[in-house]
Amino acid sequence: MIRFDHVSYHYRGGQDVLSEVSFSIDQGEMVYVTGPSGAGKTTLLRLMAALCRAHRGQVLVMGQNLSALKARRVPAFRQRIGMVFQNFNLLYDRTVFDNVALPLVIRGYSHGDIGRRVRAALDSVGLLGKEKVLPLTLSGGEQQRIGIARAIVTKPALILADEPTGNLDPEMAMEVMRGFERFNQAGVTVLIATHAIDLIEALPHRNIHLEHGVITDKRPTAASSFRGGDTDGLR
């Protein structure tokens, strides 16, 4: 499903954000990406989503060599990926239905298909019946679940979540993480960049730990918090 071969990435004029990173992830795995702020977690997810390109090495996702992916083919590639953001990235002047439906509208689905898929996605995150309300009338946990519904409405093969619980209290964070587990159990590959060490310990899965842009054998420490986050959001 995913393979990084000696991947390095740097910002213009700066040091490597990632340096010689190599790993593989099988289809159907759920994996945490951990590390302190600035360790390269978000950059790792951005590379997988073809939001940026490696400066050295190869990134292969779902059989596609992203180093060779032509710009015109990037939108079609991203249609197979669901992305979840720490700050929700919702349209607050649109209803819950419209927010979740947006990826389907962009892809040109019929009105009937959009309605069925949106209701199914909202049902899967426990928000069926909230279609007509505005996101700002809902709690932070509910807003994050709208973002998750939007990510899964196209039935992606891969979900990339960047600090999805960073703005939530522990109870809501656990609810959101259990939702990711349910999608994973249905066969979706899930990668979650997170500081939420308590959640990782409560819901253990494989962990890729980054420090200073390299993968280490160190384990994330409890000093990390629910609310920590990298500065470069997945967008």
Strands 56-61 and 30-34 come out as unpaired
Q: How many CB atoms lie within 10 A of CB 186?
A: 11
pLDDT recorded at residue 16:
87
Dihedral (CA of 127, 183, 75, 11) sign = positive
To which residue do tokens 């596609």 refer?
64
Mean pLDDT of 120-147: 94
What confidence tens digit (pLDDT) does each residue in 79-97 have?
A: 999 999 888 899 999 999 9
pLDDT band at 68 (very low <50, low <70, confident <90, very high): very high
Q: Which tokens sit at 45?
A: 């997810």
pLDDT band at 235 (very low <50, low <70, confident <90, very high): very low
- Name the residue ranges covered by the structural domains of the chain: 90-155
pLDDT band at 14 (very low <50, low <70, confident <90, very high): confident
- pLDDT averaged over the chain? 91
Q: Is this model's pTM higher than 0.85 or not?
A: yes
